[in-house]
Amino acid sequence: MKFLDLAKVYIRSGSGGNGSVSFHREKFVEFGGPDGGDGGRGGDVVIEAVEGLNTLIDFRYQQHFFAKNGQGGMGRAKTGASGDDIVLRVPVGTEILDEDEETVIADMIEVGQRVILAKGGNGGWGNLHFKSATNQAPRRANPGQAGIEMTIWLRLKLIADAGLLGMPNAGKSTFLAATSNARPKIADYPFTTLVPNLGVVGVDNVEFVVADIPGLIEGASEGRGLGDQFLGHVERCAVLLHLVDGTGEDPVEDYKIIIGELEAYGGDLALKPRITVLNKIDAVEEARLKLLKKKLERVAGGPVMLMSGATGQGVIDVLRALRAQIDEDRLRHRVNQPEEQTPWQP
């Protein structure tokens, strides 16, 4: 299935049915009077987060979603049938944006979450509603309320516990393949990863989800390479794993480039907890490895871990460090959640 994380959609809720102008005419009923029914209500446009989806590809082939209109009222005070709602099913983690692509209408972060994007129009009143002591035979009825038409953007941000960052060919896909059942494309040339990949990683009988995104290069925030369009997929992560290629020409400069792109992207991404790892140590001489580690620690302002995704050296230690940060984030969210007050019982 092709991956798609951005889609433009046109929606319209149903219009309400018109009210009816009708009079009761029956043999032996001398004063029948008005009996026009109300129009039915128009259908809503609803969006729902469901399990089993991880792409917005369905919205490439259908961009227009219109709810049904309400039926008009009828005689004998019959109300018209309401229009059927239309439901847009999206993956968990989808943001609903206004036409300006900036205003967030809704954030679908839980399975089963439902949001009404456009409410259907109310049905018009029939002439039975306008009967009064001074107007015994009203000949007016209200038209149904028009539906709401709008253009929205759907933007998918994958929900993962940890996100992988690094230059192209830093070993991110190799790490994901070595620690999970995910099978991303791996090759000895840059930009082998073109779309984000998810993998479930386990360590010490605890599982968490890791997201691998395409590599960043200098100027990604300005659109170079694949740009920074995929950084949104790691915005929800509890911790970022920054892999630095130890076999590169200047690993320290590579580190600075990635940090600069995170800061240029904006938001809180650059402030997220980050674990820096010098990767591919199996292909680096011992003396150069010690020197690179010291330089990176000086620039990063913290410890730098050593790892080889190909041989597995240091991988378990990195996974345990990720797990510790994820557990800390989950505990922090649990503490910040307000406690539910139980009803008083005698």
Residues sharing a CB contact under 8 Å with residue 331, sequence separation 6 or more, in sequence order: none
72-81 burial, b at 16+ Cβ within 10 Å, e below that, comes to bbbbebbbbe
Specify the pLDDT at position 333.
Answer: 55
Domain final residue pick, 138, 156, 174: 156
Q: Is it the case that residue 197 has pLDDT exceeding 60?
A: yes
Rounded CA gap, 70 and 79, in Å? 10
In this predicted model, what pLDDT tens digit does every residue of 5-63 receive, in sequence order?
889 999 999 999 999 999 988 888 777 889 999 999 999 999 999 988 878 888 988 99
In this predicted model, what pLDDT tens digit does every residue of 140-157 receive, in sequence order?
899 999 999 999 999 888
Residues 90 and 188 in one domain: no
Residues sharing a CB contact under 8 Å with residue 180, sequence separation 6 or more, in sequence order: 199, 200, 201, 210
Q: Is residue 346 part of a domain?
A: no
What are the Cα distances from residue 231, in Å, to 99, 100, 185?
Answer: 21, 20, 19
What are the Cα distances from residue 183, in Å, to 102, 172, 198, 199, 202?
Answer: 34, 12, 9, 9, 16
Rounded CA gap, 199 and 332, in Å? 24
Q: Which domain holds residue 112?
A: 1-24+33-156
Domain final residue pick, 156, 179, 200: 156
Residues 114 and 189 in one domain: no
Residues 111 and 249 in one domain: no
Q: Which residue has the tokens 């674990």?
A: 275
Residues 175 and 150 in one domain: no
Looking at residue 56, which CATH number applies to its domain?
Answer: 2.70.210.12
183, 197 Cβ separation under 8 angstroms: no
Specify the pLDDT at position 219.
Answer: 66
266-283 burial, b at 16+ Cβ within 10 Å, e below that, comes to eeebeebebbbbbbbbee
Rounded CA gap, 85 and 73, in Å? 19
Rounded CA gap, 321 and 225, in Å? 31
In this predicted model, what pLDDT tens digit does every residue of 281-337 receive, in sequence order?
888 888 888 898 898 989 888 888 998 888 888 889 989 988 888 888 766 655 555
Specify the pLDDT at position 122.
Answer: 93
**What's the pTM?**
0.73
201-239 burial, b at 16+ Cβ within 10 Å, e below that, comes to bebeeeebbbbbbbbbbbebbeeebbbbebbbbbbbbbb
Domain final residue pick, 140, 156, 172: 156
Specify the pLDDT at position 102.
Answer: 84
Q: How confident is the model at residue 96 (pLDDT cuts 50, 70, 90)?
A: very high
Nearest to 14 by CA among 95, 71, 93: 71
Q: How many domains does the chain have?
A: 2
What are the Cα distances from residue 233, in Å, to 103, 187, 213, 216?
Answer: 18, 23, 8, 13
Residues 127 and 186 in one domain: no
Residues 276 and 318 in one domain: yes
Residues 169 and 313 in one domain: yes
Q: Is residue 76 part of a domain?
A: yes
**What's 56's DSSP letter?**
-
Q: Is residue 344 part of a domain?
A: no
Residues 230 and 85 in one domain: no
Looking at residue 263, which CATH number applies to its domain?
Answer: 3.40.50.300
Residues sharing a CB contact under 8 Å with residue 256, sequence separation 6 or more, in sequence order: 299
Residues 91 and 3 in one domain: yes
Q: What is the mean predicted confidence (pLDDT) over 258-279?
A: 84
Say which residue, 147 or 170, is predicted with more confidence.
Answer: 147
Q: Is residue 202 part of a domain?
A: yes
Residues sharing a CB contact under 8 Å with residue 240, sequence separation 6 or more, in sequence order: 162, 163, 164, 165, 234, 269, 272, 273, 274, 275
Residues 303 and 267 in one domain: yes
Q: Is residue 328 part of a domain?
A: yes
Rounded CA gap, 84 and 69, in Å? 8
Q: Is residue 302 part of a domain?
A: yes
Neighbours of 93 (CB within 10 A): 23
Residues 134 and 173 in one domain: no
Per the prediction, the chain carries an average pLDDT of 84
- Of the listed ranges 15-24, 160-169, 196-205, 221-230, the one predicted with least confidence: 221-230
Residues 195 and 137 in one domain: no
